[in-house]
């Protein structure tokens, strides 16, 4: 998961991390970072060429983000349930995006959409050594 620039700017990090803990998602890696255009571009490579890609990169590099590696049974499905739909207008009551997101772009958090992408995204920001030393 990534707490996006709007989540950090609006001081929602603590509340969002608290959601993870209350839902028994174990934090095994966490860092506050400022993404470069290259890093954000590689991370969101799957969206390259889409109409919102350039704005997404500009936005994701507009401030610091918190990258978080989570571990749990069915971690991706459970994490996606608590973050809610990408567009906060469609996000269910009580989800992170319903509570904290402003718009489809400034939507508070990014969450991996499949276990495969979850593994890729954790590997993108954390080495195995980082994770072993924190578990």
The residues binding ligand CMP (CB under 6 A) are 47, 52, 56, 86, 104-105, 107, 110
What would the two tokens of residue 48 be?
């390259």
Q: Which is nearer to ligand CMP, 45 or 133 (CB)?
A: 45
Q: How far is the CB of 38 from ligand CMP (least distance, A)?
A: 17
Please give the positions annotated as active site.
Answer: 110
Q: Closer CB to ligand CMP, residue 70 or residue 128? A: 70
Looking at the Cβ atoms of 85 and 131, the one nearer to ligand CMP is 85
With CA atoms as reference, report the closest residue to 101 among 86, 81, 80: 86
Question: Considering the complex, what minimum distance in angstroms separates the CB of residue 74 from ligand CMP?
Answer: 19
- Smallest distance, Å, CB 13 to ligand CMP? 16
What length is written for the chain? 135
Taking CB atoms within 8 Å and a gap of at least 24, the contacts of 54-62 are 55/105, 56/105, 59/4, 59/5, 59/105, 59/106, 60/4, 60/5, 60/35, 61/34, 61/35, 61/36, 61/37, 62/5
């Amino acid at each position: 998961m990534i707490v996006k620039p709007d989540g950090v700017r609006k001081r929602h990090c603590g509340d969002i991390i608290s959601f993870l803990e209350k839902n028994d998602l174990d934090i095994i890696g966490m860092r506050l970072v400022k993404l470069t255009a290259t890093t954000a571009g590689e991370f969101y490579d799957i969206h390259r060429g889409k109409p919102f890609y350039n704005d997404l990169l500009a936005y994701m590099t507009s401030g610091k983000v918190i990258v978080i590696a989570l571990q749990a049974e069915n971690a991706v499905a459970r994490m996606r349930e608590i973050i809610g739909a990408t567009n906060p207008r469609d996000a269910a009551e009580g989800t992170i995006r319903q509570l904290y997101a402003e718009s489809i772009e400034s939507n508070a958090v990014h969450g991996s959409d499949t276990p495969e992408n979850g593994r890729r995204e954790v590997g993108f920001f954390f080495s195995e050594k980082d994770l072993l030393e924190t578990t």
